[in-house]
Chains A and B, each alone.
Chain A
């Protein structure tokens, strides 16, 4: 069998996924701890304070990776949700719905750190600035997906409804982003784009390390959640019974 097909067939099987994710999770946690340690060391101790923003610029090492990840996770939800709806792979349904709380948490982190940074820099905790507003709308979209999932009794139907909502939201997200941007902006422009970066390396590196650290955290958290959801959904099936009763890890 074609190795790619084989991989898909395997990942589609809950017991295989459960074991595979279980093996992967410790590595993801390790990656998260190491990268966070390096990122925080560079960001909090080695990077210079900003000539305008002073020490408060260090909040950025949490804020920017959280904001990036909050958007990336929504995109991930749409992708896994699409796969779940089209090919009806249960693992993808579980991954879609397991992503939502992590994404919502990072959205809240981005909003809170942003507002703490805004206080000394802009002189206010909250302004109706474009990116703040679109991040807030993103939070509402996440809450909508989670609420829709919780409203259904049947978990698979709930996950498919949530997946559809995630896709609809993902189609709208760029439109929301640009319309809000055009509505009002005070935020500084993106410092890092595809054509390069306008940040000095001493400040860029901690940001890069933190961004990857957060992604490892997302991976570890997502897989742990997905494993738990699978156990709960399959608690009457034989592989779970065997797992709980015995030696298999």
Chain B
């Protein structure tokens, strides 16, 4: 039997994921609303002092982004697992890592990209100085793919469990530590007028490493979940 080319399969999967996402618009909005609500809670919790908010802004926005991503990760493979689509994908003969990558790319486009688009608003709310805003956007632009990539491993490992969501956060948050440190320090450095390219470069290196390794780990985890 002749197999469709890898790029055909990849694009078909991507198109399917977008269609599904479009038909479940309301579900996709939940993590984003969650992001806005979490950031709103901080001024209410620590007080509205502009200096204080500006100081904690990079950390708050990044932590909110982590939480929102993890919230959306649980559904990454779940519905495909429950209705048997995932099994058919494994049986399709296409490399599972490629299928996983398509799913991750789709997840980033519907869950990661909106966070980047919302970040100027969040920066405004948190009174982040102007010098920090472009760096915040840059750090999110190269950092949120890492969130999706590493998170997919956790999502694949917990997909066959009934209460996978809580476990998922326990599994992936420790892995997000380096990203959080680098990203917030880049933004803080930009605010204080210090060079920040080193941190962004390290995040980029991490993204490339995750991009090459995570799809294979995700594929292994998916195979394990289906066994």
Give chain A's interface residues, CB within 8 Å of chain B.
85, 137, 140-141, 143-144, 147-148, 151-152, 157, 160-161, 164-165, 167-169, 171-172, 175-176, 178-180, 182-183
Contact = CB atoms under 8 A, between A and B. Distances in A.
B105 to A, nearest CB: 20
B171 A148 contact: yes
A183 B217 contact: no
B85 to A, nearest CB: 21
B44 interface: no
Given A169-B174, A176-B177, A164 B217 contact: yes
B174 A168 contact: no
11 contacts: A137-B174, A140-B173, A161-B221, A164-B157, A167-B217, A172-B175, A172-B178, A175-B178, A176-B175, A179-B181, A182-B181
Interface residues of B, number: 27
B161 A176 contact: no
Nearest to B205: A175
Contacts of B158: 148, 151
B174 A144 contact: yes
Given A140-B174, A172-B178, A175-B178, A85 B167 contact: no
A152 B177 contact: no
B169 to A, nearest CB: 10
Contact of B221 (A137, A140, A151, A164): A164
B157 A176 contact: no
B96 interface: no
Given A176-B177, A179-B178, A180-B177, 13 more contacts: A85-B220, A144-B167, A144-B170, A144-B171, A148-B158, A148-B167, A152-B161, A160-B224, A165-B157, A169-B174, A176-B174, A178-B178, A183-B185
A179 B177 contact: yes
Contacts of A160: 224
A176 B170 contact: no
B170 A157 contact: no
A179 B146 CA distance: 15
B153 interface: yes
Contact of A165 (B171, B177, B202, B227): B171
A141 B174 contact: yes
Nearest 3 A-B pairs (CB), nearest first?
A: A179-B178, A140-B174, A144-B171
Interface string B148-186: 000001000110110110010011011101100110010
Query: Most chain-A CB neighbours within 10 Å: which of B163, B164, B181?
Result: B181
